[in-house]
Every structure is written in C-alpha cells, then in structure tokens.
Amino acid sequence: MDELAKHFSELTTSEQRVFSYIYNAQKAVTKMKINDLAVATFTSKTVIINMTKKLGFSGYADFKYYLRSNNRQHFKSESKYDAEYYLKDNINKTLGLVDQEVMKSVSRQIQKAKTVYIVARGTSKAVGNYLEHLLLTIGIRCIFLDDYNLISIVSLSLEPNEFLILLSLSGNTTKMVEIANMAKTRGAKTASITTFTTNSVSKISDYNLYCSSDDSITKDNDSKSRIGMFIIVELLVATLKDNLA
C-alpha cells in the first residue's frame, strides 16, 4: 500500500476517501465485499472499481488479491502486536507517505516567509514546541501559537507574506479548520501535517504532509501517538538545512 500511496493525488476526492479507509484498515478490507466497502466509505461500487483501475488493477477482486499476498507477513506480525512493532509500523508507514516535492515546496515557503506561525492543539502541542525549537536553532523566525484566544487574534491579522504550519492529527479540529479558512481568506499560505486521511484541514491547506497513525479520532481520547508527526518534522527540518547549506 505504501507504493500505491504515491498515486493518492491522482485520485478523486471520493476515491481518496476509499483509499484512506483501506490504508488504515487493510486486514479488515481483505475480508470485505465491494458492497460492504462502499457502505463503510459512503461511496459506490463504481468509485471503488475506478480507484482500483487507476492503481493498475483489473478490478476490486484483483486488488484484494494484491492486498492479501503483499501484506501476509504484515498481518502475521500484527497478531504478535507489541510496542516495538507498533512504533516500527508507524515509522515505516509514515516514511512511505513522504512526498519529497511537497517537502521541498514547504521548505521554500518557510524560507521566504516574513513570519512562520506554527499552530497546534491538544497533544499535538508537543510536536509544535519541538518544531519551533528546531526552526529557531537554524535561524528561521517563527512563533508557536498554542493559546486558544491568541490563535483567533493572530488569524485576524495574517498577511500574504506569512506562512502557517498546521499540526492536527485528525485534521478536523474545529479551531484548526477555522484558522486554515482565515489564512485562505487573508491570502496567507498554509501547510498541514495530519494523518493520512481525507480531512478538512488538508482540503483547505496549500501543502499537505501526511503521517501514519493507528487512529486519528482525538476528540474523546487525545493519547494517540504523534510519532509520525515528529518524523515529518524531522524530515522537514533536514530539508531546510540542505537548502540553507
């Protein structure tokens, strides 16, 4: 699936929703009929078939065969689940989602921005703090906005030459969607770092960096791992360092 993820941007919005669902529930999908998958993703059989053909398969049955055969060892490992496997799985999946061209584009936007704002809520604040620290150490002027009211105030004074980095695992946090929309209205560019799903923040943002997570729903349980987000931050700063060298 990591190899197929490279074609994600070529899919329609509905097809992306199907792909994201499959990516995060591969084992379950191998046992699902096409009608069941259509219901689970709020799409149709036609959307699913079109998606599989765009990915190079003859149809859904061919795609399921690929999913079973290429992930057999993965599923065996999953049955022996432990902390080490969980971390390695998240790391490997996140690395497979990295789009180097998008990473370079975000890096260029950071370099030329008058001010870089980092915005995060909940547990993602830890990632925001880390990113701010790394950017400051390499001479990038940035401000981490972690105060709820301050986020609202700054969003009303954004300028077109400023750049926002939005950290949201789910990509659907109300405040994050609000500032993404405000940035768009005021002409400021944005980059999102979210889990690999179709979400509101990534739809609005100019650039999307994706990470892997076992679950992106944080409203009732914000203890979900941000290891994937930390990896994206590390790769982004490494790209910046290369450009600044």
The CATH number given to whatever domain includes residue 69 is 1.10.10.10
Check whether residue 59 and residue 23 sit in a common domain: yes
Q: Is the pLDDT of residue 237 over 90?
A: yes
Q: Is the pLDDT of residue 79 over 60?
A: no
87 occurs within a structural domain: no
Q: What Å distances lie between residue 154 and 122, 158, 176, 186, 193, CA to CA?
A: 19, 6, 13, 11, 20
Check whether residue 64 and residue 125 sit in a common domain: no
Check whether residue 138 and residue 170 sit in a common domain: yes
Q: Is the pLDDT of residue 208 over 80?
A: yes
By residue range, what is the domain housing residue 157? 100-244
CATH code where residue 172 lies? 3.40.50.10490
CA Rg value for the chain: 19
- Sequence-ordered list of residues with C-beta below 8 angstroms from that of 196, at least 6 positions apart, any chain: 5, 20, 23, 24, 93, 97, 210, 211, 212, 213
Predicted confidence (pLDDT) per residue in 146-200, tens digit:
888 888 899 899 999 999 999 999 899 999 999 999 999 999 999 999 998 878 9
Check whether residue 230 and residue 164 sit in a common domain: yes
pLDDT of residue 215: 54
Q: What is the pTM of this model?
A: 0.69
85 occurs within a structural domain: no
The share of the chain scoring above pLDDT 90, in percent, equals: 54
DSSP state of 204: H
> Which ranges of 31-188 would DSSP assign to H, the alpha helix?
34-41, 45-54, 60-70, 72-79, 83-97, 100-112, 125-137, 148-155, 174-186
Query: What is the C-alpha separation between 19 and 23, in angstroms, rounded?
Result: 6
Of 212, 203, 206, nearest to 230 by C-alpha is 212
Check whether residue 159 and residue 230 sit in a common domain: yes
Q: Is the pLDDT of residue 78 over 60?
A: no
Q: How confident is residue 77, by pLDDT bands cut at 50, 70 and 90?
A: very low
Of 13, 210, 204, 185, nearest to 95 by C-alpha is 210
Average confidence (pLDDT) over 230-238: 95
Q: Which two tokens stand for residue 38?
A: 């259509």
Number of domains in the chain: 2
Residues paired with residue 164 on neighbouring β-strands, in sequence order: 117, 190
